[in-house]
Amino acid sequence: MSTELRDRFFALSNSGASSDEVAEYRAEVDATDADPAATLDGLALHWHPTARFKAVRFVDAEDLGADVRDLFARPSREAPHLAAVFADPHELSFRDFENILPLDRVFARSESGGGFDLELADPREFAPGAYTFALRLPGTDRERLRRLDAMDLYVTPLNSASRGGERFIFHSQLLADALTRAVTEGVPEPLLEGFSHVNPVFRCNRFEPGDANFHLHRDTPYYDASREHISRYTVLIYLTGGTAEPVLDLAGGGALRRIDPFTCVVFDQRYQHEGAPYLDERKVFLRTELVFTETGLAHDPEIGALFSKACYLTGESVFAPELARHADTYYDRVAAAHWEGLGTGADREPFLHKDFRGTHFVANGYDFWFAKRGGISPAVCAAITLLDYFNCKIGEDSFRSLCETEAIEAQGTGWIPAFLQDRGGGTAVAPFDKSMLFPEPEEPNTEDMPDCACGICGEIHPRFDTTRSAGVIKHYTDAQDAAKAEVVPAPIVMMGEDVLLDPDRFVVEGDRIHVLGKESPSPVNFAACQGGPPVTPPEDFITTAVTVDAAHFLVPPILFTESDDCYHLRFDFFGNTWTLKHEQATAAVPAIRPFTMEDIDQDWDINYPDWDDEDEDLEDEEEEEEENATA
Amino acid sequence: MKITDIEQALRERPGDRQLWLDYAALLEERGDARGTLIRLEQRRDRLRPVDRVGVQQEIDELASAHRQAWDAALPDGATVLARRHGFATKVAVEWSDEDDAPMLVDRVLREPFVTALRISPTEDIEQAEVEAAGEQAWEAFDDGADAGQETDAPEPSIDPGALATLDFSRLSELGFPYLGLGALGAKALAASAFFRIGASGTGPTAGDTTGLLDSLDLRYSRIGNDGLSALAASPGFRGVRRLHLQHNRLTAKAARDLHRFTNLTELDLRYNTIGEEGAQALLAAPFIGSLRRLLLHRADISDAGAKLLADSPRLPPAIRSYWRNA
């Protein structure tokens, strides 16, 4: 049944299935529930679509557990290392919205050893700062690029409502390096001042005749603060040719109505642009950027704030599709602001009012407001903000799916304190003393567990105290160390569906809340009888007292202000000097179980039938030795 | 003010900086280097962390040169676990020879700033007890008794009378970890404290008959229900906030007696089979809502007891969370 559900997904995706067939399939998926089959980077996955797992993605099959790996389809003959997985879209956050596929492994299988031999020829400026080139390449390279379309790796983008067609994103250093060489040699000199390289992340887009246009927009420039890299030009490589009205329209600039296969278009990212599907053919093109080194950039925190809001609203659009429109508007304003400064936005902006287990807050993706009610602390506000922003997993669910959320369009922010005062401000996140999870081990009064329960070893008895055995304590301490490495540095821990915070990991200093991050975990060492009945080895006396999920964050300080009735937190996650990281780990908190007589092999005589003989042999040997000594 | 009066005042108000300086002056008059140490450490604490290196080096050198002389008053076999201004504040003692042990402890208690004491058995005593326990367990097993169940009365492995001679009333932290006090030992402690506190009124406030004790560690002391009951009834122990009772043959009855420790914030009851009834009794305790740490295993309270804890609104939310998922 499930295999059938999996295979039909790909069959329907690749054939011109009727709308009835698709509707019937969707109904079947909606009626199918299943527990996650695997978890990858904190994302629960299944190998066929279900009511919960609906977002198809591709992952390196090697990253899936060997026990379930073969259940996942490998739909691409060209890229058999990629397995198709189905994720819960509600669990996605900005970290994993984009599914970037590593394709160099596919390219490297070619006769040429993987590299491309590309040349940009016949430059023609069709608008100020916009050029077309003929992409010259050997037939084998041409074929390799054409095959990208046949790989069937397309997934539905989150902003599918505001754009037509299908796309997938891939990473290829081989292709980017070849393009970098071709750009350096073929692109007119004035465009190359400060040129560094071609971005190795490509978007492969496909439009069928009749698909909706990709609406008028600006491309969001690439930005790497640590290297002072920004993109200035968009690069489009058309793998198919055709005619459209128009193929590419640069607002206020020129337009291209007909395009030949393997035409490369380079245009200034300041242009707003849109494109229509070909009239008669499938339109397939790659998009990437020319990256430049730019020193002395000015910074406007408001641009970062707007970008943060855009990312947040993209995630929220899974729950409220109407927010995708606002996200696109924000992305467009951010892209324009990079070149022209931040313009004025709309009078009314979207906000989300959320209720997480009685704690109400209002957020827009950059600002988070909490009512000062019910003893809520800045640390709790910060914890909830982090959980929301990163859409952390709590038990089996994502934070956002546990919130009751309503979208509100409003002018300004002055209404928020009064709005929140009318709503509960309880603390859904309790402080927790994590030392309770790690009671100190007892002092040992016996050595390591004896190898056996024979009379000579003699230390095992029906009331043997495992809690004071040096061997058991060592394993207990090792297990504690392993769990502590994950749990102790975590500012937030989850036990089942409960969220608890460590107040010591949130340091409020002036107008900032510092969330202390994880240090490198210390190495954990694990260590490893004869004669009488075997005894359970010491490590087997270690059991799990409780399982704890630890959420780690490496984030910039959270800006924080308070009024009489409100805490107002502000995040600039995409700030210029910070590397952003969030991870979630699960740790089993150990306990020592007592010894029971079942820990001695009761069928020992049966399992070790030669025991008596060995004993007799030993006695014989001893007697012999004594006799010899006497003699 | 006599030096002994200052010492008593400093035991009661260890954060009084001026009083320490007054005491330092007296020590310097007597040629005691700890007077200088007090001044140096007070100066260090007022400096910014970056400026402390030089003073800290001076402190380390002074302490290194005099530590042996400072500890000379302590008996052999006593180990200093913590100090303040060079004076021992927390000391560990091994209870070995029955005749000498009380005297040794008494000498430690005469040190002016010792407020924390830990008395544990020697390795020989421990080993003998392990062997005896093993023999008893096999005998019981051969007789067909439930192997895991310790049914014999919790007898002491030390002389309870010796304990009764000691005055622990000025301590804030007292521990007998792994020392087989037995029920009789616990009763002797309780009775002794009752008379001493009753006589001196050494509670935190004048006339208060509750002891100063803040932390009591009786892990693996075999005190049993009767021993705990005696301690719970004694004003010398009733005020403790941190109580270690792991592995003491306690049952649900003990959980009810714990109600008398009204100030508890940390309670370790692991390895005592108090069962569902014990869990229920704990939930009725006056301190239950103030607990910061409650250490128990599911095996101690049974699945039904764990469910009671998981569902009880009387437990602090974080501890309830633990039991919802343990």
The reply to whether residue A496 touches residue B322, judged by beta carbons under 8 angstroms, is no
Q: What is the CATH number of the domain that holds B83?
A: 3.80.10.10
Instruction: Determine the pLDDT at residue A61.
Output: 92
- Domain count along chain B: 2
B316 vs A contacts (CB less than 8 Å):
430
Quick check: B278 pLDDT over 90? yes
Quick check: A494 pLDDT over 70? yes
Quick check: A365 pLDDT over 70? yes
- Mean pLDDT along residues B30-52: 92
Q: Where a domain ends, among B73, B98, B125?
A: B73
Q: Comparing C-alpha atoms, which of A173, A285, A289 is closest to residue A237? A: A285
The answer to whether A99 and A155 have CB atoms below 8 angstroms apart is yes
Q: Tell which wins on pLDDT, A600 or A41.
A: A41
Q: Say whether B27 sits in a helix, a strand or coil.
A: helix
Measure the CA–CA gap between A210 and B88, rounded to whole angstroms: 87
Task: Clarify whether residues B146 and B15 are in a common domain.
Answer: no
- Mean pLDDT along residues B102-123: 92
> Using 50, 70 and 90 to split pLDDT, how confident is the model at A521?
very low
Q: Which domain holds residue B34?
A: 1-73
Q: Say whether B93 sits in a helix, a strand or coil.
A: strand
Instruction: Determine the pLDDT at residue A419.
Output: 93
A546 vs B contacts (CB less than 8 Å):
322, 325-326
Task: Clarify whether residues B1 and B126 are in a common domain.
Answer: no
Which two three-digit tokens encode residue A360?
């109400």
A438's CB contacts (< 8 A; 6+ apart) are A480, A483, A484, A487, A488, A589
Q: Tell which wins on pLDDT, A22 or B57.
A: B57
- Tell me if chain A has a CB within 8 Å of the CB of B322: yes
Task: Clarify whether residues B191 and B272 are in a common domain.
Answer: yes
Quick check: A520 pLDDT over 50? no
pLDDT tens-digit readout, A571-623:
876 653 222 345 667 778 788 877 777 776 666 555 555 555 555 555 555 56
For A35-118, where are the E strands, in sequence order?
A: 38-40, 43-46, 55-60, 82-87, 100-102
Instruction: Determine the pLDDT at residue A610.
Output: 54
pLDDT tens-digit readout, B156-206:
677 888 888 888 988 999 999 999 899 999 999 998 877 776 555 555 444
Q: Where a domain ends, among B73, B106, B137?
A: B73
pLDDT tens-digit readout, A151-178:
888 876 545 555 567 889 999 999 999 9
Task: Clarify whether residues B63 and B85 are in a common domain.
Answer: no
Q: Tell me the percentage of chain A whose pLDDT exceeds 70.
A: 84
Instruction: Determine the pLDDT at residue A626.
Output: 60
pLDDT tens-digit readout, A414-449:
999 999 988 876 678 889 999 999 999 999 988 777
Measure the CA–CA gap between A386 and A392, rounded to whole angstroms: 8
Average pLDDT value over all residues in chain B = 88
Q: Tell me the percentage of chain B whose pLDDT exceeds 90.
A: 64
Residue of B119, B222, B307, B325 to mutate when probing chain A, most A C-beta within 10 A: B325
Which two three-digit tokens encode residue B93?
């003692």
pLDDT tens-digit readout, A65-106:
999 999 999 988 888 889 999 988 888 766 666 788 889 888
Q: Exposure of B54 by Cβ count < 10 A (0-12 exposed, 13-18 middle, 19+ buried)?
A: exposed
Q: Where a domain ends, among B32, B54, B73?
A: B73
Measure the CA–CA gap between A373 and B208, rounded to whole angstroms: 39
Residue in chain B closest to A435 (alpha carbons) equals B293
Instruction: Determine the pLDDT at residue A155.
Output: 72
pLDDT tens-digit readout, B210-252:
678 999 999 999 999 999 999 999 988 989 999 999 999 999 9
Instruction: Determine the pLDDT at residue A160.
Output: 52
Instruction: Determine the pLDDT at residue A525.
Output: 25
Instruction: Determine the pLDDT at residue A630.
Output: 52
Instruction: Determine the pLDDT at residue A305.
Output: 87
Which two three-digit tokens encode residue A366?
């950059």
> Using 50, 70 and 90 to split pLDDT, how confident is the model at A631?
very low
Instruction: Determine the pLDDT at residue B43.
Output: 94
How many residue pairs from chains A and B have C-beta atoms closer than 8 A? Answer: 95
Measure the CA–CA gap between B180 and B152, rounded to whole angstroms: 14
- Tell me if chain A has a CB within 8 Å of the CB of B128: no
Quick check: B269 pLDDT over 50? yes
Instruction: Determine the pLDDT at residue B107.
Output: 92
Which residues of A have a CB under 8 Å from any CB of B? 430-433, 435-437, 439, 442-443, 445-446, 458-459, 461-465, 467-468, 495-498, 500, 545-547, 591, 593-597
Q: What angle, rounded to 10 degrees, do the helices at B34-46 and B53-70 form?
A: 150
Quick check: B270 pLDDT over 60? yes
Query: What DSSP string describes A305-332?
Result: HHHHHHHHHHHHTTT-TTHHHHHHHHHH
Beta bridge partners of A169: A100, A203
Measure the CA–CA gap between B193 and B171, rounded to whole angstroms: 11
- Please report the ipTM that was assigned to this predicted complex: 0.86
Quick check: A268 pLDDT over 70? yes
Instruction: Determine the pLDDT at residue B201.
Output: 52
pLDDT tens-digit readout, A305-357:
888 898 889 888 888 888 888 988 888 888 888 777 777 888 899 999 999 99
B318 vs A contacts (CB less than 8 Å):
430-433, 436, 500
Task: Clarify whether residues B56 and B96 are in a common domain.
Answer: no
A462 vs B contacts (CB less than 8 Å):
137-138, 140-141, 147-148
Q: Which CATH number is associated with domain A119-293?
A: 2.60.120.620
CA A236 to chain centre: 28
Residue in chain A closest to B326 (alpha carbons) equals A546
The dihedral region occupied by A351, where left means phi > 0, alpha psi between -120 and 50, and beta the remainder, is: beta
A461 vs B contacts (CB less than 8 Å):
133-135, 137-138, 141
Task: Clarify whether residues B179 and B232 are in a common domain.
Answer: yes
Q: Comparing C-alpha atoms, which of A524, A504, A533, A538 is closest to residue A588? A: A524
Q: Comparing C-alpha atoms, which of B272, B326, B268, B325 is closest to residue B301? A: B272
| Other beta carbons within 10 Å of A561 | 10
Instruction: Determine the pLDDT at residue A458.
Output: 58
Quick check: A304 pLDDT over 90? no
